[in-house]
Amino acid sequence: MSETPLDPVADLCALVGEPTLRAVVRAFYARIPGDALLGPLYPHGDLEGAEERLADFLVMRFGGSQRYMERRGHPRLRVRHAPFAIGSAERDRWVALMDAALDAQLPHAEARERARTFLHGVATFLVNAEG
Ligand code: HEM
């Protein structure tokens, strides 16, 4: 994938490196077990697997390895999130945890803000419930 004005995140993996993206997701998942709102939604026996799935997805979406697609197939994120009731409270908490992870692990300010805009937009798109 190359960067185009229509896909402002396609160069992020090349720009900051896959280990940095994985560190962001690790920092995000480190906050999940202790989160009263989001913690209960996630599979506590397989948080490492969940971390790997989100990291693989972001690496792919940000122009890196296609491992997510090889392992999981098409992302279909609305379908995959359908089992979880995601209202504005859950969306806002997810975004807050991700913002903290980005601030802690992605020092490249311009890349961080583009990643943030993308992640906030997808989070809003995934809202599927009231509240
Ligand atoms: C809006 C708030 C969100 C909530 C409450 C939420 C919740 C969840 C939960 C509970 C899972 C299952 C964990 C697992 O076993 O993999 C999951 C998986 C996943 N989420 Fe989210 N999520 C949210 C937003 C997002 C966003 C913004 C993205 C992408 C930018 C995303 C990408 C993914 C991916 C790639 C998976 C793994 C899908 C798979 O291959 O099975 N999620 N999410």
Counting atoms of ligand 1 from 1, which one is nearest the CA of 57? 35
- State whether the beta carbon of 72 lies less than 6 angstroms from ligand 1: yes
pTM surpassing 0.85?
yes
44, two tokens = 């506590």
Residue 77: CB within 6 Å of ligand 1? yes
Q: How far is the CA of 110 from the centre of ligand 1 (A)?
A: 24
Looking at 12-129, list the stretches that DSSP marks H as alpha helix, in order from N- to C-terminal side: 12-16, 18-30, 47-61, 67-72, 77-81, 88-105, 109-125
What is the distance in A from the centroid of ligand 1 to the CA of 54? 7
Q: How far apart are CA 105 and CA 103, in angstroms?
A: 6
Q: What is the pLDDT of residues 18-44, one digit of tens each?
A: 999 999 999 999 999 999 999 999 998
Segment 76-125, tens digit of pLDDT: 999 999 999 999 999 999 999 999 999 999 999 999 999 999 999 999 99
C-alpha of residue 77 to centroid of ligand 1, in Å: 7
